[in-house]
Amino acid sequence: MLDISNRGKQMPPSPIRKLVPFAEAAKKNGIKVYHLNIGQPDIETPAAIMDAVRDADIKVLEYSHSAGNESYRRKLVQYYKKVGIDINYNQILITTGGSEAIMFGFLTCLNPGDEVIIPEPFYANYNGFACAAGINVVPITSGIETGFALPPIEDFEKAISNKTKAIIICNPNNPTGYLYSREEMVALKEICLKHNLYLFSDEAYREFCYSGKHVSAMHLKGLEENTILMDTISKRYSACGARIGALVTKNKSV
């Protein structure tokens, strides 16, 4: 009898998708279901996006540039400038959604057996991406009593070993919604510089700030070589099915 790979056996099932059959069964029984298991905005996708898809005059669905269409990357540069991020189009790699950006970041920057520290609660699929890349997640718990603020830097220091290569944050956080302050981001910058760590910053929910101001990892001066930004249009334009993400970094080697 054929068997699947060890990687396949180790891959954790997505808890997000795990709830889908239960929701579908409940709907068939006439129960109203509010989906909190998946990050799908409940607003309409902008008409301009839908019109562009419907009215596309494409004769051949050809390969794009390997880094993504230059015209799109140049437009992204303009968007990032509006949020205080100064980059050029050659520092952007377009990906199949934010998930591929995360996966590319892991595979490019980390070796099998390396460790990444993540404040928890965290986006559940980080576990799956880490498993596929052969790296180990080291969680540090943030508590409801502090509103899920960044755990004390002392907790990061205790978790760092000779295998630690990166810290991952989602800002604003999925699933807690916490927005990291400038002071917290600076603290992360200092510990990354001290221990020569990558800072992976998942900023898919950048526009979902209801108080305070978003501080991107790309705003941290002096951390340019360490910063890997993972982004997507999925949330800000309610276009999750478009699968258009981006990996952004000033690190030329990456």
Residue 232 pairs with which residues in a beta bridge? Answer: 245
Residue ranges of the domains in the chain?
47-248
Taking the whole predicted model, whether its pTM rises above 0.95 is answered as: no
Distance CA 94, CA 81 (A): 17
Q: Which residue has the tokens 């295998």?
A: 163
| pLDDT given at position 76 | 98
| pLDDT given at position 135 | 97
The rounded percent of the chain whose pLDDT value lies above 70 is 100
Distance CA 192, CA 155 (A): 14
Using the predicted structure, report yes or no on whether residue 182 has a pLDDT greater than 80: yes
Using the predicted structure, report yes or no on whether residue 16 has a pLDDT greater than 80: no
- Section 83-109 average pLDDT: 98
The pLDDT tens digits for 34-59 are: 888 788 888 999 999 999 999 999 99
Distance CA 84, CA 219 (A): 7
- Section 101-107 average pLDDT: 98
Residue among 245, 208, 247 nearest 227 (CA):
247
pLDDT band at 87 (very low <50, low <70, confident <90, very high): very high
Give the 3-state secondary structure of residue 166.
Answer: strand
Using the predicted structure, report yes or no on whether residue 247 has a pLDDT greater than 90: yes
Distance CA 97, CA 234 (A): 8
- Section 127-152 average pLDDT: 96
Distance CA 47, CA 53 (A): 10
For domain 47-248, give the fold.
Aspartate Aminotransferase; domain 2 (3.40.640)
Mean of all residue pLDDT scores within the chain = 95
